């Protein structure tokens, strides 16, 4: 397995893994740990969760290029939701996509 594969995800896949790690209690942040360190730890832990979520269209945000305005709105909402879940995990909060 190429080394990069353990650290390469779709945005939604990483968000789901971060949400799982946060909700399961597998991460418990010390108060003085900075956000960058927390994200690095999440990335390391995420590599151990590869395959936990079934691969499929739900893990991919459709490209709205040349689509209707609604397609762009949907893609933006999906991106915001995924990033929100990752940020919540880094901050030690819970969020849903």
Q: Count other C-beta atoms under 10 Å from residue 33's C-beta.
A: 12
Scored b (16 or more CB within 10 A) or e, 1-20 reads eeeeeeeebebbbbbbbbbb
Say whether pLDDT at 37 is over 90.
Answer: yes
Q: Count other C-beta atoms under 10 Å from residue 90's C-beta.
A: 21
pLDDT at 96: 54
Q: Count other C-beta atoms under 10 Å from residue 56's C-beta.
A: 7
SS3 content of the chain, % helix, strand, coil (to 5): 60, 0, 40
pLDDT at 9: 87
pLDDT digits (tens, 9 = 90+) for 52-94: 877 788 889 999 999 999 999 999 999 999 999 999 999 988 6
């Amino acid at each position: 397995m190429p080394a990069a594969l353990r650290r390469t995800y779709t945005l939604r896949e990483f968000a789901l893994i971060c949400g799982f790690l946060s909700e399961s209690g597998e991460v418990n942040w010390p108060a003085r740990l900075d956000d960058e360190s927390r994200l690095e730890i999440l990335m390391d832990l995420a590599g151990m969760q590869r395959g936990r979520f079934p691969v499929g269209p739900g893990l991919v945000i459709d490209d709205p290029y040349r689509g209707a305005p609604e397609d762009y709105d949907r893609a933006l909402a999906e991106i915001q939701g995924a990033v929100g879940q990752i940020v919540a995990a880094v901050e030690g909060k819970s969020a849903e996509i």
